[in-house]
Amino acid sequence: MTAPSVLVVDDEPPIRRLLRTSLGAQGWRVDEAATAAAALARVAEAPPDVVILDLGLPDRDGLEVIRELRRGSAVPIVVLSSREREDAKVAALDLGADDYVTKPFGMEELTARLRAALRHRLQQEGAPPVFRSGTLAVDLVRRRVTVGDAEVRLSPREWDILALLVIHAGRVLTHQFILTRLWKAGGDVQQLRVYVRQLRQKIEADPERPRHVVTETGVGYRLVVQETAA
């Protein structure tokens, strides 16, 4: 199996060196770009499997790079940035980034996010219709949800939210993305929170400490992909 490739787009040499060494040691094929122009040219010439993108580039803002990439590419984008404001995260995700990691960062967290972004892209390209994560199983065709051996009954709206999260498993979905997809008009964030709370009551072992549907504070929700129990 060919090792996955990653394009690291960051103008800080120490960050590029750290990622080149750490990801290379884990089997990734690492390419680098220090500017937006170089990154866009690399993706056009030889699209990587995933892009790690800093937002503070010297020639163009990283948000513009996301917008430009999404005009013609579905390559997974994981933002790696020192911008901690929630509005910056929401803007990046709404433009099409798959995930957002804030500097300083841990390599374990970053590589987990990279793997999740790759799984999400593969799923969009034709993964099996049954999603499994830990004890949770979601059959998108039969609209059937089980936790362990027990079938879970969901309301239509709870199902819609869970199915959308499954389709984008591992990716942060902003409040606005979910509301636009499921409510079209008339929904609000408070309604969404109520339904997510109800959903957690049915699929989480401890709804107050969710392991499946987790909150990205001020941004939205993510369906965590766990190892499936044997």
Average confidence (pLDDT) over 114-128 = 69
Task: Please give the Cα distance from 178 to 153 (Å, whole number).
Answer: 21
> Confidence class of residue 3 from pLDDT cuts 50, 70 and 90?
low
Q: Is 97 helix (H, G, I), strand (E, B) or coil?
A: coil
Average confidence (pLDDT) over 164-190 = 85
pTM recorded for the entire structure: 0.66
The answer to whether the bond into 210 is cis (omega within 30° of 0) is no
Q: Across all residues in the chain, what is the average pLDDT?
A: 88
Instruction: Describe the crossing of helices 86-95 and 62-70 by its angle, rounded to 10 degrees.
Output: 20
User: Which residues face 77 on adjacent strands?
Assistant: 51
> Confidence class of residue 186 from pLDDT cuts 50, 70 and 90?
low
Task: Please give the Cα distance from 205 to 211 (Å, whole number).
Answer: 8
CA distances from 52 to 56, 61, 91 (A): 13, 14, 16
Average confidence (pLDDT) over 162-184 = 86
Provide the pLDDT for residue 1: 37
> Confidence class of residue 206 from pLDDT cuts 50, 70 and 90?
very high
Domains and CATH numbers, the chain: 5-124 (3.40.50.2300), 130-223 (1.10.10.10)
Q: Tell me 229's DSSP state.
A: P
Q: In this predicted model, what pLDDT tens digit does every residue of 141-156 receive, in sequence order?
A: 677 899 998 999 998 8
Question: How many residues are listed for the chain in this entry?
Answer: 230
